[in-house]
Amino acid sequence: MYFLVLISCLFIFLFSIYILGKDDYLFIRKNFSLDNLFDYAFIGLFAGIIFARFLWVFFRSTIEKNFLSHLFSPIDAGVILAGIVSGSMLSIYLISKYRKMPTLRLFDFFSLAFLSTFSFGYLASSLFFRDREIFYYLVPAICYLIICVFFWKVLYLRLISSKLKDGSLSSLFLQIFSLLSFVLLFVYQFLNSSIRLDAAYIFLLIIFLGSLIFLLRNEKYFKKIKSNK
C-alpha cells in the first residue's frame, strides 16, 4: 500500500513538471524541451534520494525502520524530504551550470512540483495510522495544501509575468518547508517528551537561513534598504 503512495507522489511530481514546462517561454527560447526537463527530473530525484539516504543514516542511524516508509513520518520527514529536495537541487545546479541551462527557473519549477506532492503524501500516509498519530499527518497535509494553492495561484503567476525574479519562488519554498519541518519535529518531540537538540535541527536551520539570504540578495532588498536610508 505504501508503494502506491510513493508511485502516486511520483506521478503528481512529474505531471506538475509537465504542466510547468510545456509552454514556458524561457525554456522555448533556450530550446529546452520537455524531454530534457524529464531527464533532469529523474536524475534529480535519483540523486536526491541517495543524498537523503545518507542524511537519514547520519541523523537517524539508531532507528531500525525502512527508509522510504519514513518519507512522511513526523519524526523523520524534515530530514528525509529536505535531503531529497536539497540533493535534487544540487544535482540540477551542477548539470544546468555545465550545460548552461536556466538554473533558477528549474529550481522554481522543481519547488512547485515538490510542493504539489507533499499535501497528498501526508494525507495518504495518515491512512496507515490511528488515534493521535493521524494528526501528525493531517495537520501538515492541510498546511501544505494551503501553501500549495498560494504558490500556484499567486507566486507562480507573478513568476511567469516577471513580477517575481527567477529563484525567489524556490527560496520562499525552502524557507517555508524548513520552518514547517522544524516545527513539526519539535512538536512531535515535545508531545512525546523526547526533546533534544540534534543535527536535524541544525540542517533545517541552515536551509532556512541560506534560502532567506538568497531571497534578500535576489530581490535586492539590501540595496532597497540602503537607498531608503
73-109: per-residue pLDDT in tens? 666 656 678 888 888 999 999 988 888 888 899 999 9
Of the candidates 110, 112, 71, 78, the one whose C-alpha atom is nearest the C-alpha of residue 180 is 78
CA distance 27 to 37: 9
Residue 14 has pLDDT above 90, yes or no: yes
CA distance 64 to 60: 9
CA distance 152 to 144: 12
140, 202 Cβ separation under 8 angstroms = no
201, 185 Cβ separation under 8 angstroms = yes
* Cell representation of residue 147: 501553501
Residue 223 has pLDDT above 90, yes or no: no
* Cell representation of residue 108: 522554481
Position 16 scores a pLDDT of: 94
Position 169 scores a pLDDT of: 95
**pLDDT tens, 122-180?**
888 888 777 777 888 888 899 999 999 999 999 999 999 988 999 999 999 999 999 99
CA distance 180 to 182: 5
86, 181 Cβ separation under 8 angstroms = no
DSSP character at residue 164: S
Position 156 scores a pLDDT of: 94
As for how many domains the chain has, the answer is 1
Of the candidates 52, 72, 187, 194, the one whose C-alpha atom is nearest the C-alpha of residue 129 is 72
Residue 200 has pLDDT above 90, yes or no: no
**pLDDT tens, 39-64?**
999 999 999 888 887 777 776 654 44
35: burial class by Cβ within 10 Å (0-12, 13-18, 19+)?
exposed
* Cell representation of residue 73: 513520518
**pLDDT tens, 58-76?**
766 544 455 556 666 666 6
76, 60 Cβ separation under 8 angstroms = yes
pTM score over 0.75: yes
Other beta carbons within 10 Å of 97:
10
CA distance 59 to 10: 25
**Which is more confident, 225 or 41?**
41
User: Range of 112's domain?
Assistant: 2-228
CA distance 23 to 28: 7
Position 32 scores a pLDDT of: 84
In the structure, what pLDDT confidence band is assigned to residue 225 with cuts at 50, 70 and 90? very low
